[in-house]
Chains A and B, each alone.
Chain A
Amino acid sequence: MSPRFDYAPAPESTAVVDIAPSYDLFINGEFTAPLSERTFATINPATEEKLSQVAAAGADDVDRAVKAARRAYTRVWGPMPGAERAKYLYRIARILAERSREFAVLETLDNGKPIKESRDVDVPTAAAHFFYHAGWADKLEYAGLGAAPAPLGVVGQVIPWNFPLLMLAWKIAPALATGNTVVLKPAETTPLTALLFADVCRQADLPPGVVNIVTGAGETGQALVEHPDIDKIAFTGSTEVGKQIARSVAGTDKRVTLELGGKAANVVFDDAPIDQAVEGIVNGIFFNQGHVCCAGSRLLVQESVAEEVVHRLQRRLQTLRLGDPLDKNTDIGAINSQAQLDRITELTAAGEAEGATRWSPPCELPDRGFWFAPTVFTDVSQAHRIAREEIFGPVLSVLTFRTPEEAVARANNTTYGLSAGVWTEKGSRILWMADKLRAGVVWANTFNRFDPTSPFGGYAESGYGREGGRHGLAAYVTAEGTH
């Protein structure tokens, strides 16, 4: 029987974006063909249709970009007063806001995430990061980072595919506010919003070389990380690549911040506001198809309410709408790539093989593209792979606990330490938990909330360094005078 109230298709128009058949590298304020003469295709993961052909920067191209950034740093951006830098950042922020629909549609096309998320979260939060950091640019001496905090120089930044524009903003806004110049490499499956951002830099009259975008895969990233004239590396991505980066910069004077994986515990106590906790669980793991490093992928629920919480969660999941990411009513979009889909498929198969109980709501998957139904595993034990490894997909593992001490012990029993959630109506317990949890971010009665004023970053294998807030500035300055 078809539902009584079946929402008709409500697709966002793609007319607002103009995707070129191919893109060059953005170096020194201009689009320039790669010396490597290599290119790669970027596709729409919801349809597998090719969107564009993009340059793959080789080591020579990265060298050109670093040289442009060095020149811009030495001659223009480094010496520029903070109040002047702020003007450029404000201008970029305003342009992002003005072109928000264009960015949202392009992000959804290239990434597969629902338009409501790119429209309501990614793009506005990206603009907010530029607004926030613009305000810091002429006030750095009051940030508690020394009397005259100075920029580091040229920063190499490598960002992931899960929030392409937002991660770009997290990286570029603080770097520019503090007087550094940037060579940024977007992920190979999602280069398009970074290339559109290059256009924004030109529109804002940003001096050439202050921001350079080099597209490519792991090899390009490696060339950037290993370039001798880079002063700092900022990386967000997998723990595996993060470790490689740490190894490769060991013995150099490059600074590094790494924001890596996670396996966050979302802890629900028996006195939690249950209906909102269910929303928080959904938002924690199914937001952005679970492609979120701080996703609440482990639900730790107090045994006395476990059955009720799981019942309510399963009922709620039946109202999630999976499908065309451009449809304004879509809650769950496409998995970003075949490789990621394979990984999710492999780990969930392991969950079943290890004896956990698998459940998904009735859910029709589109014929083309990369899709994975929202999945909940119950009867999960701490030893199962699905309770230990980052799945980076719409897959929740439910574990139970009896006492607050046990909740903390289980939550902290992970090699990661990026984020955690606590659900209880008892304020004192929230504070006690926040004190005990080894996680960079602890959300209380909410989850996956991001704000440029709040530092974000992890413990242990989730990386080091903070992004956002006053703490985030520290990663881009030195108190020792001009570098």
Chain B
Amino acid sequence: MSASAAPSRARELLGVSALTNKALTSWLHGLPGIDAVGCEGRAAALSTRSIKTDAKAWAIDTAISMIDLTTLEGADTPGKVRALCAKAVTPDPVDPTTPRPAAICVYNDLVGIAREALGDSGIHVAAVATAFPSGRASLEVKLADTQDAVDLGADEIDMVIDRGAFLAGDYRTVFDQIVAVKEACGEAHLKVILETGELATYDNVRRASWLAMLAGADFIKTSTGKISPAATLPVTLVMLEAVRDWRDLTGVQIGVKPAGGIKTTKDALKYLVTLNEIAGEDWLTPQWFRFGASSLLGDLLQQRRKLATGVYTGSRDVTID
């Protein structure tokens, strides 16, 4: 969907002639509530699924292919980014059948370095833009930030919403900013970071998810990784319900990206089970689901070797980046 089409589709969905903040508020507040105990209970129940043998092998490879391999530090250097790209291109030098992660995720000044290092590997470059992680800048600055990343060759833009505006009930501002950033993205895919750790309630997560989808997000993403808690299974479950219900309503499929705090294969399997049973198997590809993670890849590679060879290699046998 083109960016400019979002407001007119929103007016149509809401059944209003003008997309006022009041109209957005009554629509978002009309979504069914979420009972926190029940939601967490459902996530806990899904966590008890036991994934073994063939299913585990499939899930590990799928999880690897869904990783946005991420480095978002003030200390990031061209050398660090190149090393990460090399890891993405050849995740396991011992086993060339190992799938590659979906993307490298960096701050936008390092997009050019990543682009060059990844060459024609097919691995995408994702850039965090829009005054990441706080989002506390004017729209002009956010758009310039986005434009910069796109000009440097980013395939995907991870933007942050204005949580201050959201919590103040100014949904229209959040909506408008997403629409504007989407337009600045051009061909690049837009992931909208809700920063669920700052939204505090599941009801807010649901509303923010619907608001982002209404404004034209291609993906909704839990967290920047800079705030605790980052991704949790119940929050991701709520977002998966949102994309499922959005497709029912509009026919449009949206992706989901939990990010931050997912470190082990065991964690990743719980997310894939939840994805499978909440959103459904249509979402089980890197096109529709990503993990924002840095250390997860190492554990997945270790578990992959364990499954293939029957023995655990030490963590020293897996390259750190």
Contact = CB atoms under 8 A, between A and B. Distances in A.
A446 B55 contact: no
Interface residues of A, number: 24
B21 interface: no
B37 A446 contact: yes
Contact of B34 (A271, A275, A328): A275
A329 B273 CA distance: 11
A7 B50 contact: yes
Contacts of B53: 8
Contacts of B49: 7, 328-329
Given A279-B42, A328-B48, A329-B49, A8 B35 contact: no
A483 interface: no
A283 B109 CA distance: 51
B281 A8 contact: no
B284 A5 contact: yes
B102 interface: no
Contacts of B284: 4-5
B64 to A, nearest CB: 15
A138 interface: no
Given A8-B53, A8-B55, A8-B56, A275 B39 contact: yes
A34 to B, nearest CB: 41
B48 A275 contact: no
Contacts of B33: 271-273, 425
A8 B51 contact: yes
Interface string A439-460: 0000001100000000000000
Contacts of A8: 51-56
B38 interface: yes
A122 to B, nearest CB: 15
B55 A6 contact: yes
A273 B32 contact: yes
A79 B157 CA distance: 76
Interface in B26-61: 32-35, 37-39, 41-42, 48-56, 58-59
A19 interface: no
A328 B48 CA distance: 8
B35 A273 contact: yes
B205 to A, nearest CB: 12
B281 A276 contact: no
A329 B32 contact: no
A49 interface: no
B272 interface: yes
A308 to B, nearest CB: 9
A428 to B, nearest CB: 15
Contacts of A6: 55
A3 interface: yes
Contact of B35 (A3, A329, A445): A445
B264 interface: no
What DSSP secondary structure best describes chain A's contact surface? Answer: loop
B277 interface: yes
A87 B34 CA distance: 43
A272 B38 contact: no
B38 A5 contact: no
A276 B50 contact: no
Interface string B258-301: 00000000000000110011000100100000000000000000
Interface in B14-32: 32
Contact of A4 (B48, B51, B281): B281
A7 B42 contact: no
A328 B62 CA distance: 22
A5 B59 contact: yes
A328 B55 contact: no
B241 interface: yes
Interface in A238-275: 271-275
A5 B281 CA distance: 7
Contacts of A275: 32, 34, 38-39, 42, 241
A305 B35 CA distance: 17
A319 B33 CA distance: 23
A8 B58 CA distance: 10
A58 interface: no
Contacts of A271: 32-33
A45 interface: no
A173 B291 CA distance: 48
A4 B58 CA distance: 9
Interface of B: 32-35, 37-39, 41-42, 48-56, 58-59, 62, 241, 272-273, 276-277, 281, 284
6 contacts: A5-B62, A8-B54, A10-B51, A272-B33, A328-B50, A329-B49
- 8 shortest interchain CB distances as A-B pairs: A276-B38, A10-B50, A328-B50, A8-B55, A273-B35, A276-B35, A274-B32, A4-B281
